[in-house]
Amino acid sequence: MGKGRLEAFTDAIIPIIMTVIVLELEMPRELSWLGLWEIKQQLISYTISFFLLAIVWGNHHHMFKIVEKINGGVIWANTLLLFFLSFIPYTTKIVDIDPANHFSEQLYTLVFIGVNIAWNLLRISLIKADPDNTAIQETLVHDRKSWLTLIAFFVVFLLSFVWSQIGMLGTLLVMVMWIIPYKKIEIMLKGD
């Protein structure tokens, strides 16, 4: 399988996950601004989850610009990433049920810990699948941002035992550092 098919598969699955999140939104009881205000928590959690998915998708697309070869390990690591991403609508709905519940926020953060572990496995699989690719070797081998993200998610998870609503908010704050993709890849792509 070529990298294009893997990218196309990922490009199809992530928008489906985004669509499932919006379909989980309840209709306001009253069709008014007040009715919309009553479901504000759902709208906030939908917005956070949607943009977190967009950040993952954008960085995935960005990373795959330098990929030339993939193998079975890459396919399975990417599948694991999609597996954890597919839980986001479920955990978003659980947060919507009771935003002040420690468990719901912890579960949300745990899913993103899984996403980050899968991301790191994908990154490592790409390095192993194409050891002669200098772009991959220069950008993905010493990727401190991915490991820092994983540590930050664990900190958010631990803090959620004390402050329940840090789970979703903390996850968003951690992912903000990924709004700007790999800088080294940007520099390489400008050189081409």
Total of domains in the chain: 1
| Residue-by-residue DSSP string for 43-80 | HHHHHHHHHHHHHHHHHHHHHHTS-----HHHHHHHHH
Q: Could you read off the pLDDT of 26-82 as tens digits, one per residue?
A: 999 999 999 999 999 899 999 999 999 999 999 999 999 999 999 999 999 999 999
Burial of 34 by CB count in 10 Å (0-12 exposed, 13-18 middle, 19+ buried)?
Answer: exposed
User: Percentage of residues in the chain with pLDDT exceeding 70?
Assistant: 99
Three-state DSSP class for residue 172 = helix
Q: The domain containing residue 115 runs over which residues?
A: 3-191
Average of per-residue pLDDT across 169-179? 90
Query: Do the Cβ atoms of 76 and 128 come closer than 8 Å?
Result: no
User: Are 104 and 95 a contacting pair, CB within 8 Å?
Assistant: yes
CA atoms within 13 A on the CB side of 100: 0
Question: For position 192, what pLDDT does the model report?
Answer: 57
